[in-house]
Amino acid sequence: MATFYKDDIIINMMLSATMFSKSTNEVLFSATMLEEPSLELGGEKAYVTDNYGMNIAAFNRQKTCTFSATNSLFSLGMLANQFGATPQTGSDILIPAREILKVASGNTVSLKHAPRTGSVSIDVLDDSRSSIGVRLTESATGSGVAVQDKKVTITSDDVKAGTLVAVHYTYAGDAVRIANKTDSFTAAGEFRIEILFCDKCDQMTQYYGFLVFPNAALDNNATINLTSDGKHAFSVEALVDYCSEGQELCYVVVPDSK
């Protein structure tokens, strides 16, 4: 029986990067639009010197292996794992809101949602939508702000029909909430990077391989560019799979295309 082996192959693209729980095998997060992927191998080196201080031997120690990439889209699942958090979902999540409205006759504005009691804050604006320094809050005594369901009535000498205002408030609604707590950190798991290879002599011959970290941790440190063309950066460090027989940091597997 022939044994499949390929020495030189071409990397076509990275297809996905997925972290699995070590205990339950459930998917913790998955990134499928990878850009700028890289694998960094490192370690420390110990030298033996002679009486002149010349290196006469070198021993490699403490191997490291880190995968870094960016995801084209902002990933809430990945962010939750970078926070070390479990996403909270439901119809009673407190949601901040901001609406810019023109005051109607009777000095009222109608909001999209019913605000939480005591959460309404009003900033009076000029025609360019800049604040004129007049700020009113529902919670302040004698503020002249009264709220009934979605209707807000403003009784202030600085506000009249046609005045532009920014209304800030919170309401309970259906949402996902991910909190970054100081005592929660990323969990370790198995990390698999799915890679599409092709034959160097026939690019139509393709191989779906994997780079696998049997035990890995998502790095807490990340810089995420919060712009429309920004990318979601992440890195994963391989850890020794201490309870395994071979104590592997990582391995690559490329199956036959047949």
**Domain assignment of residue 133, yes or no:** yes
pLDDT bracket for residue 40 (50, 70, 90) = very high
**Domain assignment of residue 191, yes or no:** yes
Half-sphere exposure in the Cβ direction for 77 (13 Å, CA):
13
62, pLDDT greater than 60: yes
**Domain assignment of residue 216, yes or no:** yes
188, pLDDT greater than 90: no
Residues 37, 96: one domain?
no
Report pLDDT for 45: 86
**Domain assignment of residue 4, yes or no:** no
The token duo for 198 is 């092709």
Residues 74, 103: one domain?
no
Residues 206, 95: one domain?
no
Of 139, 157, 175, the domain-final residue: 175
Kindly report the CATH number assigned to the domain that includes residue 25.
2.30.110
Residues 189, 155: one domain?
no
- Per the structure, how many domains does the chain have? 2
Residues 125, 188: one domain?
no
Domain that holds residue 117: 90-175
Of 141, 175, 209, the domain-final residue: 175
The token duo for 103 is 């005051």
Of 175, 199, 227, the domain-final residue: 175
**Domain assignment of residue 1, yes or no:** no
Residues 71, 55: one domain?
yes
The token duo for 215 is 């035990």
More confident residue, 174 or 50: 174
Query: What are residue 79's phi and psi, to 5 degrees?
Result: -60, -40
**Domain assignment of residue 32, yes or no:** yes
**Domain assignment of residue 64, yes or no:** yes
Residues 186, 76: one domain?
yes
Whole-number Å distance between alpha carbons of 207 and 14: 12
Report pLDDT for 99: 95
Q: What is the mean pLDDT of residues 66-81?
A: 93
Q: Which amino acid is at 74?
A: F
CB 166 within 8 A of CB 110: no
What does the mean pLDDT of the chain come to?
Answer: 89
Residues 79, 186: one domain?
yes
Report pLDDT for 157: 78
Report pLDDT for 11: 92
Cβ-count burial of 152 within 10 angstroms (0-12 exposed, 13-18 middle, 19+ buried)?
buried
pLDDT bracket for residue 141 (50, 70, 90) = low
Which residue bears the tokens 């009673």? 92
Residues 148, 47: one domain?
no
**Domain assignment of residue 66, yes or no:** yes
Percent of the chain with pLDDT strictly greater than 90: 56
Q: What is the 3-state secondary structure (H, E, C) of the chain?
A: CCCCCCCCEEEEEEEEEEEEECCCCCEEEEECCEEEEEEEEEEEEEEEECCCCCEEEEEEEEEEEEEEEEECCCCHHHHHHHHCCCCEEEEEEEEEEEEEEECECCCEEECCCCCCCCCCEEEEECCCCCEEEEEEECCCCCCCEEEECCEEEECCCCCCCCCEEEEEEEEEEEEEECCCCCCCCCCEEEEEEEEEEEECCCCCCEEEEEEEEEEEEECCCCCCCCCCCCCEEEEEEECCCCCCCCCCCCEEECCCCC
